[in-house]
């Protein structure tokens, strides 16, 4: 996927759900993975011509796993002229070694979001952009149906009154395969996920299930995503 297509899909999502306001300072939650690096590049490029001027910076929460090198990430952000803050924590050790969590993702996500939110506020940002794409939305819906008995997917825009921060998901119209293609084409320096639980979670199961469903019933992912966007899910904003 070329940059022009990426920006077109991101702008469609931004406009449809009114994600941006003039003067926004938006922090991208950067893990070093393909999705967050693609989002950072997209928002930086979009900021150059979007009619509502906004700033972009990057925040990376270091979970404290050994042999994690952020030099490539720093060079990538430097090339985009994007400010990057790396927050060093021991979240990985706390979750995996001290707590020995059998299902570590929920606690890790909670601690990571706390560290991210604190740093974002320190940097003077009013919004956080997460790199959830179309596949993530559908996988979340499948997880909610299978394990919680409800029809749900995280909304494109979420406002938190306690912190006055707003969470955005501008990649929601992009498929994971498109992001992979973009990263290959533009040689994005993707970091390897150092988490020992990577690929062994319920979300990994949902990802495999979605691949199988799409293979057996072509177009099913798009139909499920349509059901999400039209399903009047609580907390979802109305499309104007």
Query: What pLDDT does 3 receive?
Result: 97
**How many domains are contained in the chain?**
1
Is 202 part of any domain?
Answer: yes
235 occurs within a structural domain? no
pLDDT at 67: 75
User: Looking at the domain assignment, is residue 70 inside a domain?
Assistant: yes
Higher-pLDDT residue of 111 and 43 is 43
Q: For the purposes of burial, counting CB atoms within 10 Å of the CB of 235, is it exposed (0-12), middle (13-18) or buried (19 or more)? A: exposed
User: Range of 217's domain?
Assistant: 3-229
* CATH value at residue 119: 3.40.50.620
Treating both helix axes as pointing N-terminal to C-terminal, what angle do 34-46 and 3-16 enclose, rounded to 10 degrees? 80
User: Taking residues 184-210, what's their average pLDDT?
Assistant: 86
Q: What is the pLDDT of residues 126-151, one digit of tens each?
A: 999 999 999 999 999 999 999 999 99
- Decide if 236 is inside a domain: no
In 3D space, the residue among 169, 120, 164, 231 whose CA is nearest the CA of residue 19 turns out to be 169
Does residue 237 sit within a domain? no
Would you say the C-alpha torsion 118, 201, 133, 224 has a positive or negative sign? Answer: negative
Assess whether pLDDT exceeds 70 at residue 197.
no
Q: pLDDT digits over 55-101, tens only? A: 999 999 998 887 788 999 999 999 999 999 999 988 887 887 777 66
């Amino acid at each position: 996927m070329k940059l022009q297509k990426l920006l077109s899909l991101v702008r469609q999502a931004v406009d449809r759900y009114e994600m941006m306001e003039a003067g926004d300072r938006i922090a991208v939650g950067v893990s070093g993975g393909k999705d967050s690096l693609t989002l950072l590049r997209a928002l930086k490029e979009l900021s150059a011509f979007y009619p509502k001027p906004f700033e972009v910076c990057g925040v990376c929460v270091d979970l404290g796993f050994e042999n994690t090198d952020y030099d490539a990430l720093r060079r990538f952000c430097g090339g985009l002229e994007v400010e990057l803050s790396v927050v060093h924590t021991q979240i990985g050790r706390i979750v995996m070694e001290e707590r020995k969590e059998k299902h570590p993702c929920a606690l890790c996500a909670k601690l990571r979001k706390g560290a991210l939110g604190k740093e974002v506020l320190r940097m003077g940002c009013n919004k956080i952009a997460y790199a959830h794409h179309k596949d993530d939305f559908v996988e979340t819906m499948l997880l909610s149906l299978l394990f919680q008995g409800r029809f749900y997917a995280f909304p494109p825009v979420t406002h938190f009154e306690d912190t006055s921060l707003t969470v955005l998901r501008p990649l929601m119209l992009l498929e994971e395969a498109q992001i992979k293609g973009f990263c290959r084409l533009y040689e994005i320096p993707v970091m390897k996920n150092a988490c020992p639980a990577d690929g062994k979670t319920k979300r990994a199961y949902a990802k495999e299930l979605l691949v199988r469903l799409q293979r057996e019933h072509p177009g099913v992912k798009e139909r499920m995503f349509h059901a999400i966007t039209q399903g009047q899910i609580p907390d979802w904003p109305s499309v104007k």
